[in-house]
A and B are shown apart, each in its own frame.
Chain A
Amino acid sequence: MTIGIRSRGRLFATWLLASSFGAASVAFAASAPAPQDPGPVAPEGFRFERLEDAIKIEPGVRIEVLNLFGDVRARYGGRDDVLGLLSIAQQFADEGPEVEVVHRQDGDTLRIEVGVREREGAALHTVPEPGQRKRADLVLFVPDGRALGVRTGDGLVQLRGLRSDATARSASGDMQVRSIRGSLDLASDSGDLVVILESLGLDAEQRFAVGSGELQLHLREDGDYAVEARARGRIRTEYSLEVGPTGRDGARTARAVLGDGTTPVRIDAGVGLLRLLRKPSAEVARMAPEDDA
């Protein structure tokens, strides 16, 4: 089942580009009223297309998103067997074929891809041409238990509140991930990665990697993790660490065990900065003196 709502029109380029649009801001964009203070005006010929879809998705079906044209944000989408998909595609009218967001079921996988076609009926090209200015940002509302896979180029990956496993890969995009009730496997070649990791008692390995960006991992101080990190760059920590000797490649291994160490956490921080940070327990936060609250 697919329910599509399309709207097309002009909006202010800077608003679209600067907005960290969530559902609310997307909804705001839909009406596109003439504001009192329009701010910067979009260049002549600039256009955008906003698309909303509700896609039926059976339990056990995995979602794979390929978007090398922009950002991907995912939020918890409830218990119904429906994936919510919002997209905003934007480009200049003289830039040739429109950027498209398509989805198709491929066995046990629902694939959502962003790309362009040279002509109607031609294959979708998912890799942007160098120098092109087309862009498409996606927001997904992921129902309970549907594993999510995301791949971006330089676009942001932002995952919040999902109740499912998630993997993400990016060439140079940043990742911001928090409150995920499932396993995580995240890697960005040159982007930064910020993760607030829940303590769920999972025995599946949680994997995080960056090449040259900063990897910032927040761990609950009342959690149960066994962290093993490999780093060639600097390490900053709020937890005790056992640091091994430096290898020939300049890398060393750092280990930390929190609580009973139930959940293995594997980190490859490349040459970037690794920060292991403390997320205070609810009890500690509750006991905070008033002047510190």
Chain B
Amino acid sequence: MSRRPGTAWARVAALFALLATVPASAEAPLWSAKAKKPCSLVLELPAGDLELRRKRGDAQVVAEPGQWTVDAVAENDALHMRVAIAEGHAAGDASPVRLELPRHCALAVRGGTGRIDIHGRHAAPLEVETTTGEIVLWAESGADLRVDLATSGEMGTDYSIAIEHRHHREPDKHGVVVLGTGDIAARLASRRGPVSVLARERANGH
């Protein structure tokens, strides 16, 4: 994704006050910004694995330096970000990208074949899509989520789930898991990959 000129970056600044983009070490973020309320991020990750963690403070993308590139533009009141494998690297060899985002930030992830793990408490809508990549939402105890799942693959769960079959459509199943009050909407959709809502406290053994 190419960078847009001046005005777009001004809108980005209104949403995220850009702090730094230069990696200094393996632990340094590839991209970092202060996230103000409200904030909304659309992340495109065609290949490779992603780990989302909800954290206070800055929004940031952390990854092995040199393996990934980050491009970001503001568009329709959301920050659009594309994280891609750097030239000369293969998705299968690259370490996962970690996205750290405050819980009040809405997030939409457009993934591909890689696995996406979602951790933490969410206070804003969450939407994750892949083609064949696995999606796992690790639910915290006391979470208030309504999770809509869609896939032609299997649905993993530690909770009660209602599944509706949609014959000859893709994805061919729609599932709903309601945790607590179900106030926060989460949508996990894959064309064929497994999609799961698992309990964080049962993470050992998974």
Q: What string of 1s and 0s marks CB contacts (under 8 Å) between A223-264 and chain B?
A: 000000000111111111111001000101000000000000
Task: Name the residue among B155, B196, B199 with the largest chain A CB count within 10 angstroms.
Answer: B155
**Whole-angstrom distance from the CB of A215 to the nearest CB of chain B?**
13
- Chain B 161-200 interface 0/1 with A at a Cβ cutoff of 8 Å (1 = within): 1110101100001010000000000000000001010110
Q: Does A17 make an interface contact (CB < 8 A)?
A: no
Q: Across the interface, do A221 and B194 meet the contact criterion of CB distance under 8 Å?
A: no
Which residues of chain A are within 8 angstroms of B158 by Cβ–Cβ distance?
235, 243, 246, 252
- The answer to whether A242 and B160 touch across the interface, beta carbons within 8 angstroms, is yes
Partner of A243, one of B157, B165, B194, B201: B157
A117: interface (CB < 8 Å): no
Of the listed stretches A7-15, A22-30, A89-97, A281-289, name the one at the interface; the rest are far from the partner chain: A281-289
Residues in A neighbouring B202, C-beta threshold 8 A: 246, 250
User: Which residue of the partner chain, among A233, A238, A271, contacts B154 with CB atoms under 8 Å?
Assistant: A238
Contact B163 A239 (CB under 8 A): yes
Nearest-CB residue, chain B, relative to A243:
B160
- Would A237 and B161 be within 8 Å (CB), given that A271-B205, A275-B154 are in contact? yes
- CB neighbors of A among B29-43 (8 A): none
Q: How far is the CB of B147 from chain A (nearest CB, A)?
A: 14
For B202, give the chain A residue with the smallest CB separation: A246
Contacts known (A236-B155, A236-B196); A241 close to B205, Cβ less than 8 A: no
B206: chain A residues within 8 A (beta carbon) = 234
Distance of A237 Cα from B161 Cα, bound (Å):
9
Task: Say yes or no for B125: interface residue by CB 8 A criterion.
Answer: no
Tell yes or no: A194 within 8 A of B by CB. Answer: no
Q: Does residue A106 face the partner (Cβ distance < 8 Å to B)?
A: no
Number of B residues near A (Cβ < 8 Å) is 23
Q: Mark A25-39, 1 if CB is under 8 A from B, else 0.
A: 000000000000000
Asked if A54 is at the interface of the complex by the 8 Å CB criterion, the answer is no
- With the chains together, A275 CA to B198 CA distance in Å? 15
- Tell me if A234 and B156 are in contact (CB < 8 A): yes
Q: Is B154 a contact of A243 with CB atoms below 8 Å?
A: no
Q: Which residues of chain A (61-97) have a CB below 8 Å from chain B?
A: none
Most chain-B CB neighbours within 10 Å: which of A235, A284, A289? Answer: A235
Given the complex of chains A and B, what is the CA–CA distance between A232 and B205 in angstroms? Answer: 9
Smallest distance from the beta carbon of A216 to chain B beta carbons, Å?
10
Whole-angstrom distance from the CB of B163 to the nearest CB of chain A?
A: 5
Residues of A within 8 A of B165 (CB): 221, 238, 278
Cβ of A44 under 8 Å from chain B:
no
A235 and B168 contact, CB distance less than 8 A: no
Cβ of A292: which chain B residues have Cβ within 8 Å of it? 168
The complex places the Cα of A289 from the Cα of B167 at a distance, in Å, of 10
Contact of B163 among A233, A240, A250, A284 (CB under 8 A): A240
When the two chains form their complex, are residues A235 and B156 in contact, meaning their CB atoms are under 8 A apart? yes
Query: Which chain B residues numbered 131 to 170 have a C-beta less than 8 Å away from chain A?
Result: 154-163, 165, 167-168
A241 touches B154 (CB 8 A): no
Please list the 10 inter-chain residue pairs (A to B) with the smallest Cβ-Cβ separation, ordered nearest first: A236-B154, A236-B156, A240-B163, A243-B160, A242-B160, A240-B162, A284-B167, A241-B161, A243-B159, A289-B168
Q: Could you list 13 further interchain pairs (A-B, Cβ under 8 angstroms) beyond the known A237-B155, A243-B157?
A: A234-B156, A237-B156, A238-B163, A239-B163, A240-B161, A240-B163, A240-B175, A241-B163, A243-B158, A243-B161, A250-B202, A275-B154, A280-B167
Question: What would 9 A/B residue contacts be, using CB atoms closer than 8 Å?
Answer: A234-B156, A234-B198, A236-B156, A238-B155, A241-B163, A246-B202, A252-B158, A277-B154, A289-B168
